[in-house]
Amino acid sequence: MQNQNLIFYYNCMIIYYIVLAFFIIMTIVFACLFIKAKMTYRRLLRKNLDENIAPIELVQKPEVVFSNIKDENEQQILKRLQLLFEEEHIYLNPDLNINDLAKQIGTNKTTLSHIINTHLKINFPTLLNQYRIKESIKLLTDKQYSNYKIEAIGEMCGYKNRQVFHATFKKEMGVTPINFRKISQETTTNKE
Protein backbone atom coordinates (compact mmCIF):
# COMPACT_ATOMS: atom_id res chain seq x y z
CA MET A 1 0.00 0.00 0.00
CA GLN A 2 2.75 2.40 0.93
CA ASN A 3 4.53 1.51 -2.31
CA GLN A 4 1.42 2.43 -4.34
CA ASN A 5 1.12 5.76 -2.51
CA LEU A 6 4.77 6.47 -3.23
CA ILE A 7 4.33 5.64 -6.93
CA PHE A 8 1.20 7.80 -7.09
CA TYR A 9 3.08 10.67 -5.42
CA TYR A 10 5.97 10.39 -7.91
CA ASN A 11 3.56 10.29 -10.86
CA CYS A 12 1.81 13.42 -9.56
CA MET A 13 5.14 15.17 -9.14
CA ILE A 14 6.19 14.23 -12.68
CA ILE A 15 2.91 15.59 -14.08
CA TYR A 16 3.28 18.74 -11.98
CA TYR A 17 6.82 19.37 -13.28
CA ILE A 18 5.78 18.68 -16.88
CA VAL A 19 2.90 21.18 -16.62
CA LEU A 20 5.14 23.72 -14.89
CA ALA A 21 7.83 23.33 -17.56
CA PHE A 22 5.19 23.72 -20.28
CA PHE A 23 3.96 27.02 -18.76
CA ILE A 24 7.49 28.32 -18.32
CA ILE A 25 8.36 27.48 -21.94
CA MET A 26 5.14 29.10 -23.23
CA THR A 27 5.81 32.23 -21.16
CA ILE A 28 9.31 32.48 -22.61
CA VAL A 29 8.00 31.97 -26.16
CA PHE A 30 5.32 34.65 -25.76
CA ALA A 31 7.82 37.04 -24.18
CA CYS A 32 10.23 36.52 -27.08
CA LEU A 33 7.47 37.08 -29.63
CA PHE A 34 6.38 40.25 -27.84
CA ILE A 35 9.92 41.60 -27.69
CA LYS A 36 10.51 40.74 -31.36
CA ALA A 37 7.29 42.53 -32.41
CA LYS A 38 8.19 45.57 -30.32
CA MET A 39 11.69 45.71 -31.80
CA THR A 40 10.30 45.37 -35.33
CA TYR A 41 7.93 48.23 -34.72
CA ARG A 42 10.71 50.38 -33.27
CA ARG A 43 12.89 49.64 -36.32
CA LEU A 44 10.05 50.64 -38.64
CA LEU A 45 9.45 53.87 -36.75
CA ARG A 46 13.21 54.62 -36.69
CA LYS A 47 13.40 53.95 -40.43
CA ASN A 48 10.58 56.42 -41.04
CA LEU A 49 12.29 59.02 -38.88
CA ASP A 50 15.67 58.29 -40.52
CA GLU A 51 14.21 58.87 -43.96
CA ASN A 52 13.65 62.45 -42.86
CA ILE A 53 9.89 62.25 -42.82
CA ALA A 54 8.95 65.50 -41.22
CA PRO A 55 6.98 64.89 -38.02
CA ILE A 56 4.12 66.92 -39.39
CA GLU A 57 3.74 64.40 -42.23
CA LEU A 58 3.32 61.42 -39.92
CA VAL A 59 -0.30 62.44 -39.40
CA GLN A 60 -2.18 63.35 -42.55
CA LYS A 61 -3.54 66.86 -42.90
CA PRO A 62 -6.97 67.08 -44.50
CA GLU A 63 -6.69 68.63 -47.94
CA VAL A 64 -9.39 70.78 -49.45
CA VAL A 65 -9.62 71.71 -53.11
CA PHE A 66 -11.58 74.94 -52.93
CA SER A 67 -12.28 75.01 -56.67
CA ASN A 68 -14.41 71.86 -56.29
CA ILE A 69 -16.73 73.59 -53.82
CA LYS A 70 -19.62 75.22 -55.66
CA ASP A 71 -21.22 77.05 -52.72
CA GLU A 72 -19.33 80.28 -51.94
CA ASN A 73 -20.60 80.25 -48.35
CA GLU A 74 -19.10 76.79 -47.83
CA GLN A 75 -15.82 77.97 -49.36
CA GLN A 76 -15.70 80.91 -46.97
CA ILE A 77 -16.47 78.70 -43.97
CA LEU A 78 -13.73 76.24 -44.95
CA LYS A 79 -11.21 79.02 -45.55
CA ARG A 80 -12.01 80.53 -42.14
CA LEU A 81 -11.75 77.06 -40.56
CA GLN A 82 -8.37 76.51 -42.21
CA LEU A 83 -7.17 79.93 -41.03
CA LEU A 84 -8.26 79.25 -37.45
CA PHE A 85 -6.55 75.86 -37.37
CA GLU A 86 -3.36 76.53 -39.31
CA GLU A 87 -2.53 80.12 -38.42
CA GLU A 88 -4.31 80.84 -35.16
CA HIS A 89 -3.86 77.28 -33.77
CA ILE A 90 -7.32 77.31 -32.22
CA TYR A 91 -7.05 73.54 -31.63
CA LEU A 92 -4.68 74.24 -28.71
CA ASN A 93 -7.66 75.48 -26.69
CA PRO A 94 -8.67 72.53 -24.47
CA ASP A 95 -12.25 73.83 -24.20
CA LEU A 96 -12.77 74.09 -27.96
CA ASN A 97 -16.00 72.53 -29.14
CA ILE A 98 -17.90 72.61 -32.41
CA ASN A 99 -20.52 75.04 -31.08
CA ASP A 100 -17.97 77.67 -30.10
CA LEU A 101 -16.03 77.16 -33.32
CA ALA A 102 -19.18 77.56 -35.40
CA LYS A 103 -20.00 80.83 -33.62
CA GLN A 104 -16.47 82.08 -34.21
CA ILE A 105 -16.73 81.26 -37.92
CA GLY A 106 -20.18 82.80 -38.18
CA THR A 107 -22.27 79.71 -38.83
CA ASN A 108 -24.06 77.05 -36.82
CA LYS A 109 -22.98 73.64 -35.53
CA THR A 110 -25.01 71.66 -38.07
CA THR A 111 -23.65 73.53 -41.08
CA LEU A 112 -20.06 73.39 -39.85
CA SER A 113 -20.33 69.68 -39.07
CA HIS A 114 -21.81 69.00 -42.51
CA ILE A 115 -19.04 70.96 -44.24
CA ILE A 116 -16.28 69.20 -42.29
CA ASN A 117 -17.81 65.77 -42.95
CA THR A 118 -18.45 66.45 -46.63
CA HIS A 119 -15.31 68.26 -47.70
CA LEU A 120 -12.69 66.97 -45.28
CA LYS A 121 -14.16 63.45 -45.07
CA ILE A 122 -13.72 63.34 -41.30
CA ASN A 123 -15.72 64.44 -38.27
CA PHE A 124 -14.90 67.36 -35.98
CA PRO A 125 -13.29 65.34 -33.14
CA THR A 126 -11.01 63.59 -35.65
CA LEU A 127 -10.02 66.91 -37.21
CA LEU A 128 -9.27 68.35 -33.79
CA ASN A 129 -7.22 65.31 -32.75
CA GLN A 130 -5.21 65.27 -35.99
CA TYR A 131 -4.04 68.82 -35.45
CA ARG A 132 -3.34 68.22 -31.77
CA ILE A 133 -1.34 65.06 -32.50
CA LYS A 134 0.68 66.89 -35.17
CA GLU A 135 1.50 69.56 -32.61
CA SER A 136 2.46 66.97 -30.01
CA ILE A 137 4.78 65.27 -32.52
CA LYS A 138 6.52 68.60 -33.11
CA LEU A 139 7.00 69.09 -29.37
CA LEU A 140 8.04 65.50 -28.65
CA THR A 141 10.76 65.64 -31.32
CA ASP A 142 11.98 69.12 -30.40
CA LYS A 143 15.04 69.14 -28.09
CA GLN A 144 13.76 72.31 -26.47
CA TYR A 145 10.89 70.30 -24.93
CA SER A 146 12.83 67.13 -24.10
CA ASN A 147 12.61 67.78 -20.34
CA TYR A 148 8.87 68.44 -20.38
CA LYS A 149 6.64 65.74 -18.94
CA ILE A 150 4.35 63.94 -21.36
CA GLU A 151 1.36 65.31 -19.45
CA ALA A 152 2.62 68.87 -19.99
CA ILE A 153 3.07 68.22 -23.72
CA GLY A 154 -0.50 66.93 -23.88
CA GLU A 155 -1.80 70.01 -22.08
CA MET A 156 0.17 72.29 -24.39
CA CYS A 157 -1.51 70.57 -27.33
CA GLY A 158 -5.04 71.07 -26.01
CA TYR A 159 -5.70 67.85 -24.10
CA LYS A 160 -7.30 68.20 -20.69
CA ASN A 161 -5.98 64.95 -19.26
CA ARG A 162 -3.13 62.53 -19.76
CA GLN A 163 -5.29 59.46 -20.43
CA VAL A 164 -7.08 61.00 -23.41
CA PHE A 165 -3.79 62.25 -24.83
CA HIS A 166 -2.13 58.84 -24.48
CA ALA A 167 -5.10 56.98 -25.98
CA THR A 168 -5.45 59.37 -28.92
CA PHE A 169 -1.71 59.45 -29.62
CA LYS A 170 -1.45 55.67 -29.52
CA LYS A 171 -4.48 55.32 -31.80
CA GLU A 172 -2.99 57.71 -34.38
CA MET A 173 0.67 56.72 -34.14
CA GLY A 174 0.55 53.12 -32.93
CA VAL A 175 2.88 53.88 -30.04
CA THR A 176 2.58 55.81 -26.79
CA PRO A 177 3.96 59.36 -26.57
CA ILE A 178 6.68 58.17 -24.17
CA ASN A 179 7.89 55.48 -26.57
CA PHE A 180 7.64 57.87 -29.53
CA ARG A 181 9.87 60.34 -27.70
CA LYS A 182 12.40 57.64 -26.81
CA ILE A 183 12.55 56.34 -30.37
CA SER A 184 12.87 59.81 -31.88
CA GLN A 185 15.61 60.70 -29.38
CA GLU A 186 17.48 57.46 -30.18
CA THR A 187 17.18 58.24 -33.89
CA THR A 188 18.44 61.78 -33.39
CA THR A 189 21.34 60.52 -31.25
CA ASN A 190 22.27 57.92 -33.87
CA LYS A 191 22.32 60.60 -36.59
CA GLU A 192 24.79 62.74 -34.63
How confident is the model over 105-150, as pLDDT tens digits? Answer: 999 999 999 989 988 889 999 999 999 999 999 999 898 998 999 9
Q: What percent of the chain has pLDDT over 70?
A: 81
* Residue 167: Cβ within 10 Å count: 13
- pLDDT tens digits along 156-170: 999 999 999 999 998
Is 168:159 a contact under the CB 8 Å cutoff? yes
Mean pLDDT of 70-86: 86
Read off the pTM. 0.69
* Radius of gyration over every alpha carbon of the chain, rounded to an integer in angstroms: 26
CA distance 61 to 163: 24
The confidence score (pLDDT) of residue 46 equals: 64
pLDDT value, residue 69: 56
Residue 158 Cα distances to 66, 95, 96, angstroms: 28, 8, 9
Burial class (CB in 10 A: 0-12, 13-18, 19+), 153: buried
For residues 154 and 184, which has the higher predicted lDDT (pLDDT)? 154
User: In this predicted structure, what is the pLDDT of residue 39?
Assistant: 76
